[in-house]
Amino acid sequence: MAQTTFEEISAADFFYRNRDIAGFTNPSRAIFAAVRELVENSLDAAESLKTPPDVYVRLSYEGEASAETQIYRLRVEDNGIGIPPRHIPSAFGQVLFGSKYKLKQQRGTFGLGGKMAILYGQITTHQPAYITSSTEMSKIYMYKLMIDIQRNRPLILDRKVLINKEQWRGTIVEFSLEGDYFRAMPKLLDYFKQTAMVNPYANLTFVDPKGRLYRFTRVTKEMPVPPKETKPHPYGVDVELLQRLIQITPSKNMLEFLKNHFHRVGEITAHKFLEFSNLSLSKNPKKLTHEEIVRLMHMLKKYKDFLPPDASCLSPLGEDLLKAGILKELKPEFVVVHQRKPATYAGHPFIVEFGLAYGGEIPKRGNFIVYRFANRIPLLYDEASDVSVRVITAMNWRRYRVNPDMPIAILVHICSTKVPYKTVGKEFIAGRPEVRREIANGLREVARQIQHFMSKREHVDRERKRLGVFSKYLPKIAQFSTRLAGKQKPPDIEKLLTSVKKYGAEETEK
């Protein structure tokens, strides 16, 4: 019988062994994932200060690594909130250390992103990472560090403190990694463009290894309302959560318990619910038996009159910003946007936003161009499996006088405290019925709007064409008949032309 040895591995070690999970599958994905994780950290860092983000990314060539891969140096600078000096080593040198474990919409969710990139850099190049940060205090802190993978601890190799004369605030991360930029390039550029689309208030700059500059300039300083932390919604609880809440609650009766720990439950709702579920107001929650807790969970799910979760824990872009972003990056002839009301799946609130852009610089591809976003992150892989794409494909667009041969781009943005990704790779969204329904309804709404636009435009076009025909040919009839009749002065046809125009104006009246 073979002997099995059990050993505990550190979180860093786990991800070192399973780096595919975090998206570092191959040299080209690795470049993409590293840039993406750091950019998203930077955007979050600026947004948490309500400062329009300025993010600068530089990727420079350092040398050959193998026949197919190269060593690059990645530098990402932001104007974000900065990291207090004592947290810097852990924030970048310890996997699963982070501030992202609360219930509100966030870009990342693992607390992995930046660290995973640095970890990947370290294991491919054995070079330390350089972190510079300031919280706008008088000092700037620079750390040179590596990760002790087995112990999941940062190793500080060097530390410098500089005087912050210019009151700089932000974070700079710089490290080397192995990758394949030229394979990654198309996706990376898509990533920047799409990120710019849903962050129209951000300045993004990217300098690639050939020294090419890509700049995405903000068109607004308006920013979406930042998300608030929130209590769990009654529909989203499970027995485990109920038990934890009961353990920590200071409430002495069920009425207080419901009011204190659940989202959108107030005095009246709590009363009505307790009546509905035949529970006594004064019952001490700590005295609930296991069976009663299970029953409570079922009743919570069964009760129809809880208010839906409000959007305060979510930070959708909003229709105006969405429109601004689409106009800025896609330069369409026309765009419609629509934000659905908050909905829930399994108690998790979510909001879906839609944009549909037509014409202008949008190319005709023989198929709709679909841009997918989750919590303001572009999803660039596994498009065909995504619920949005499936709904778009299944929809009867002809009803809306729209067909895939038209130059149309569709944008779907899902924000949620828990985006229903299908896989750990977080590249596509699962087809949960609630989500699917919201997407379908939202698409119908933008489709109706575009249909309205198309038929109006068709009408205006027809009218313009009609007027064009008269103003082209009436003068010719006048000119030819004058010559044919041997007259000198052409007849005055202004009145006739005006009469056609007036008629036309009435017709185009909205």
Partner 1 sequence: MAQKKQRSSILERKKEVLESLSGLGGKIYDQLDNGTFPSITMPSRSTENIYYDPQVRQFILGDRKVKRSARNIRHVKPFAQLTWAALFSNELTSQCKTSTLRDVYYSAQAYEMTFKDQQESNNIVTDLETILGFSREDFSIFPEERSAIFGDLTIEYTVPGYEGRTMNLTSHPDGVMIGPALTSSEFVKTTADKVIAVEKGGLFTRFIEESVHKKFNSLLVLTAGQAPRATRHFIRRLNAELNLPVYIFTDGDPWGMHIAMVIISGSANAAHLRELNTPDAKWSGVWATDIVNYKLPTDPLDEVDMKRLYELQKDPRYKEDPLWQREIKTFMKIRKKAEQEAFSRYGLTYIVDEYLPAKLEETK
User: What is the distance between the alpha carbons of residues 186 and 29, in angstroms, rounded to a whole number?
Assistant: 11
Q: Are residues 71 and 65 in contact, defined by beta-carbon separation less than 8 angstroms?
A: yes
Min. distance of Cβ 502 from partner 1 in angstroms?
A: 14
Question: DSSP for 481-497?
Answer: HHHHHT-SSPP--HHHH
Q: Are residues 376 and 413 in contact, defined by beta-carbon separation less than 8 angstroms?
A: yes
Q: Is the CA virtual torsion 219, 221, 225, 226 positive or negative?
A: positive
Point out which span in 36-44, 54-62, 170-178, 487-495 binds partner 1 (CB under 8 A): 487-495
Is residue 473 at the binding interface for partner 1, with CB under 8 A as the rule?
yes
Judged by CB, which is closer to partner 1: 138, or 479? Answer: 479
Q: Compute φ and ψ for 19, nearest 5 degrees.
A: -70, -15
Min. distance of Cβ 401 from partner 1 in angstroms?
A: 23
Length reported for the chain: 510
Q: Which position has the token pair 């250390």?
A: 97
Rule CB under 8 A: choose which of 213, 248, 384, 485 binds partner 1: 485
Is residue 474 at the binding interface for partner 1, with CB under 8 A as the rule?
yes
Is residue 477 at the binding interface for partner 1, with CB under 8 A as the rule?
yes
Q: What is the DSSP letter of 306?
A: S
Judged by CB, which is closer to partner 1: 165, or 476? Answer: 476
Is residue 482 at the binding interface for partner 1, with CB under 8 A as the rule?
yes
Min. distance of Cβ 487 from partner 1 in angstroms?
A: 6
Q: Is the CA virtual torsion 397, 402, 406, 411 positive or negative?
A: negative
Point out which span in 36-44, 185-193, 283-291, 468-476 binds partner 1 (CB under 8 A): 468-476
Which residues, 6 or more positions from 341, have their beta carbon under 8 angstroms from its beta carbon? 308, 351
Is residue 470 at the binding interface for partner 1, with CB under 8 A as the rule?
yes
Rule CB under 8 A: choose which of 189, 369, 395, 478 binds partner 1: 478
Q: Which position has the token pair 């008088």?
A: 138
Using DSSP's 3-state secondary structure scheme, residue 76 falls into strand
- 455-458: long-range contacts at Cβ-Cβ below 8 A with a sequence spacing of 24 or more? 455/401, 456/510, 457/334
Judged by CB, which is closer to partner 1: 142, or 478? Answer: 478
Q: Are residues 442 and 340 in contact, defined by beta-carbon separation less than 8 angstroms?
A: yes
Return the amino acid letter for 407. Answer: P
Q: Are residues 265 and 306 in contact, defined by beta-carbon separation less than 8 angstroms?
A: yes
Helices (DSSP H) in 262-347: which residue ranges? 267-276, 290-302, 319-330
Rule CB under 8 A: choose which of 486, 488, 506, 509 binds partner 1: 486
Min. distance of Cβ 455 from partner 1 in angstroms?
A: 19
Number of residues that bind partner 1 (CB under 8 A): 21
Q: Are residues 98 and 111 in contact, defined by beta-carbon separation less than 8 angstroms?
A: yes
Rule CB under 8 A: choose which of 99, 480, 502, 505 binds partner 1: 480
Min. distance of Cβ 452 from partner 1 in angstroms?
A: 25
Is residue 484 at the binding interface for partner 1, with CB under 8 A as the rule?
yes
Contact track, partner 1, 489-508, x by CB under 8 A: --xxx-xx------------
**Angle at the Cα of 228 (from 436 to 197), degrees rounded to 5?**
55
Min. distance of Cβ 497 from partner 1 in angstroms?
A: 11
Point out which span in 42-50, 215-223, 299-307, 471-479 binds partner 1 (CB under 8 A): 471-479
Is residue 481 at the binding interface for partner 1, with CB under 8 A as the rule?
yes
Point out which span in 59-67, 89-97, 427-435, 484-492 binds partner 1 (CB under 8 A): 484-492
Point out which span in 101-109, 137-145, 243-251, 476-484 binds partner 1 (CB under 8 A): 476-484
Judged by CB, which is closer to partner 1: 84, or 490? Answer: 490
Q: Which position has the token pair 């190319």?
A: 363
Helices (DSSP H) in 139-282: which residue ranges? 181-198, 239-248, 254-261, 267-276
Judged by CB, which is closer to partner 1: 302, or 462? Answer: 462
Rule CB under 8 A: choose which of 162, 487, 502, 505 binds partner 1: 487
Judged by CB, which is closer to partner 1: 148, or 463? Answer: 463
Closest CA to 43 of 97, 80, 2: 80
Min. distance of Cβ 506 from partner 1 in angstroms?
A: 15
Judged by CB, which is closer to partner 1: 281, or 477? Answer: 477
Q: Which residues bind partner 1 (CB under 8 A)?
A: 466, 469-470, 473-474, 476-478, 480-487, 491-493, 495-496
